[in-house]
Chain A
Amino acid sequence: MSDRLSVLKTYKLYVGGKFPRSESGRVYEVTDCKGTWLANAPLASRKDARDAVVAARKAFGGWSGATAYNRGQILYRIAEMLEGRREQFIAEVADAEGLSKAKATAQVDAAIDRWVWYAGWSDKVAQITGGANPVAGPYFNLSSPEPTGVVAVLAPQDSSFLGLVSVIAPAVVTGNTVVVVTSEKSPLPALSLAEVLATSDLPGGVVNILSGRTAEIAAPLAAHQDVNALDLAGADAGLAKELETAAADNLKRVLRPEPADWSADPGTGRLLSFLETKTVWHPMGV
């Protein structure tokens, strides 16, 4: 092996399809489970959160208006891109979570497969949640699901990659755009995922990724009047209560944290949590 000095990566945030540093100029030290330095990650501020919400809102119209087929193709493309960088993510996950290579591999493979699972949902979710309602009158009446809007997602703290994918994919596949706060202690797989998203035809702003102190970034997101929903997967009970209380100010939809086995069959619960049902009536007559 060579003695070549490796080139280190500067990890950045992912906002609006771009890779900015935190506007605060802050970083924090990320270590592996043994305390060895891995990298410096951006310590995002409330202003970064604000910028991310603006980007997510801007992307919402186009992404929610894209055809379901198109969204499915793009999610599948993410899986394709990840497959090509599989080794990189196995290494990052192993470092981040202190896993053996075999266990890290299982996590990454499951994460790639999860994108594929959700990609296929894009054009089926309306068929399992919507439908015609047989009203007692001369009216055509149809209910269909629509994305809730901008979702702030606190990624799980302990599953830096599989858990992360398991909360991003179900929100975006239906047309929501998201602002994701990474695992606080293990942000690197998430920040690397941004590089995959940026090369997968996913429009800028659909997924925005912030690393830093979960509680610090989550507070402005939970209070933000232009955020429509909150996934509290990565919040502990105390923080979750505080954020849910703040979220009441504009009646965000809140998905409370629950103990989760991210390797299990994800089911449809999360997929259906960030949908609104729209019901359209029209008379039938000549």
Chain B
Amino acid sequence: MPNTVPAYGKEAAGRLASMADVTADDGALRRFLHGLPGVDAVGLQARAATLGTRSIKTTAKAYAIDLAISMIDLTTLEGADTPGKVRALCAKGVHPDPTDRTVPKVAAICVYPDMVATAKEALSGSGIHVASVATAFPAGRAALPVKLADTRDAVAAGADEIDMVIDRGAFLCGRYMEVFEEIKAVKEACARPDGSAAHLKVIFETGELETYDNVRRVSWLAMLAGADFIKTSTGKVAVNATPPVTLLMLEAVRDFHAATGVQVGVKPAGGIRTTKDAVKYLVMVNETLGEPWLTADWFRFGASSLLNDLLMQRQKLSTGRYSGPDYVTVD
């Protein structure tokens, strides 16, 4: 295995160049994606379920709770979002538990592009990233120039991270190169004038891709196109992140890393509401990718209500008694 380089860095592009043959044209890309090993659904689900039986107690649980908090992309993506709502969320992200300053801050605040500036200001100096959805989130049904403009706008407003959606329609009807080129174009749109770039998370909306084979293919497609993170879902459809889908994406990241040395992050989003769920995901990361991915740089939870459950569990661990919703803040 080659030395690891982060997908964020400049070296990653060079590594990807070594895979240029598989993305040289539509036919090559199709052959490559269809040549990936198949996924047996029942076996994948069974493995995810078995990992879900791990019993994480005491010190391990304390570690996992703080790690999970630090990995949250605390999210508000509502039509009713206002600057006030976003500022409140940012405050919560900085100090999740006002009574306990030992609680780690979250990884990022995730908002729509027009809220980026507000969030950026509210988070100034906190070290918390601003993540912005873009590319006509959540449906992604807009012309490419519109999607690129959406992205550039968010980056210009100060977004540290861009959560783009892929064109599921194009993917499902086999126009892989179109999806590939679009991700590359968005990645270019993430560049800042100073030569740095916003990190790109690519959302698959796995609930719409339906099959695990599709999830493995789209994971490779996105990583080949330069995704810094691959993300399951928008949170806006019926089926969002599930343990098997996330496990499969972790395996794709593992295999991509083995092939190229490029480290890519994973973000399950939507439907992860309890500490128990979050710990199951961390177990999957631990036993599939291991320690290098057990940081907010390489694993995130896209969530809103999860944080309060983590905080209540944290209070239980430190005080020995069960907490209640009145003892965590509602924002």
Please count the residue pairs between chain A and chain B whose beta carbons lie under 8 angstroms apart in the complex: 16
Contact status A286-B211, CB under 8 Å: yes
Give the contacts of A104-159 with B (CB-CB under 8 A): 137-139
Specify the chain B residue showing the minimal Cβ separation from A282. B42
Kindly state the separation between the CA atoms of A252 and B45 in the bound complex, as whole angstroms.
Answer: 41
Q: Does B43 contact A (CB under 8 A)?
A: yes
Q: Once the chains are docked, how many angstroms separate the CA of A134 from the CA of B41? A: 19
B40 CB–A CB distance under 8 Å? yes
Taken together as a complex, chains A and B put the C-alpha atoms of A283 and B44 apart, in Å, by 11
Task: Please encode chain A, from 245 to 286, with 1 for each CB lying within 8 Å of some chain B CB and 0 for all others.
Answer: 000000000000000000000000000000000000001111
Q: Does B210 contact A (CB under 8 A)?
A: yes
Residues of chain A with a CB closer than 8 A to B43's CB: 283
Q: How large is the interface on B (under 10, 10 to 19, 20 to 34, 35 or more residues)?
A: under 10
CA distance in complex: A286, B211 (Å): 6
Distance in angstroms from A280 CB to nearest chain B CB is 15
**Interface 1/0s, chain B 25-62, versus A by CB < 8 A?**
00000000000000011110100000000000000000
B210 & A283 in contact (Cβ 8 Å cutoff): no
- B210, A285: Cβ atoms closer than 8 Å: no
Give bound CA distance, A286 to B38, whole Å.
11
Interface size on A, residues (CB 8 A): 7
CA distance A284 to B211 in the complex (A): 13
CB contacts (< 8 Å) of A284 on chain B: these are 42
CA distance A138 to B210 in the complex (A): 18
In the bound complex, how far is the Cα of B45 from the Cα of A137, in angstroms? Answer: 12
Closest residue on chain A to residue B42 by CB atoms: A283
Min C-beta distance of B205 to chain A, whole Å = 17
Residue of B nearest to A137 (CB): B42
Measured CB to CB, the closest approach of chain A to B260, in angstroms, equals 29
In chain B, what residue has the closest Cβ to A138? B42
- CB neighbours (8 Å) of A286 from chain B are 41, 210-212
Scoring B41, B42, B45 by chain A CB atoms within 10 A of each residue's CB, the highest score goes to B42
Q: How far is the CB of B204 from chain A (nearest CB, A)?
A: 16
In the bound assembly, the distance between CA atoms of A284 and B45 in angstroms comes to: 12
Q: Which residues of B contact A283 (CB under 8 A)?
A: 40-43
Complex Cα gap A283–B42 (Å): 6
**Interfacial chain A residues near B212, Cβ < 8 Å:** 286
CA distance A283 to B212 in the complex (A): 14
- Bound-complex Cα distance A139 to B41 (A): 11
Chain A residue with minimal CB distance to B210?
A: A286
Interface string of A73-105 (1 = CB under 8 A from B): 000000000000000000000000000000000
Bound: A286/B40 CA distance, A: 8
Q: A-facing mask of B46-87, CB < 8 A → 1, else 0?
A: 000000000000000000000000000000000000000000
Within the complex, the shortest CB–CB distance from A239 to chain B, in Å, comes to 52
Encode contact with A along B196-214: 1 for CB under 8 Å, 0 otherwise. 0000000000000011100
In the complex, what residues of A have CB within 8 A of residue B40's CB? 283, 285
Complex contacts, A138 vs chain B, CB 8 Å: 42
Residues of chain B contacted by A285 (CB below 8 angstroms): 40-42, 45
Chain A residues contacting B211 (CB-CB under 8 Å) are 286
For the complex formed, measure the closest distance between the CB of B277 and the CB atoms of chain A, giving whole angstroms: 22
Closest to A284 in B: B42
* Smallest CB gap from B45: residue in A: A285
Q: Tell me which residues across on chain A come within 8 A of B42, comparing CB atoms.
A: 137-139, 283-285
Listed by A's residue number, 16 A-B pairs whose Cβ atoms lie within 8 Å are A137-B42, A138-B42, A139-B42, A283-B40, A283-B41, A283-B42, A283-B43, A284-B42, A285-B40, A285-B41, A285-B42, A285-B45, A286-B41, A286-B210, A286-B211, A286-B212
Known: A283-B41, A285-B40, A286-B212. 7 other contacts (CB 8 A): A138-B42, A139-B42, A283-B40, A284-B42, A286-B41, A286-B210, A286-B211
| 6 closest cross-chain pairs (CB), A and B | A285-B41, A283-B42, A285-B42, A138-B42, A286-B211, A286-B41
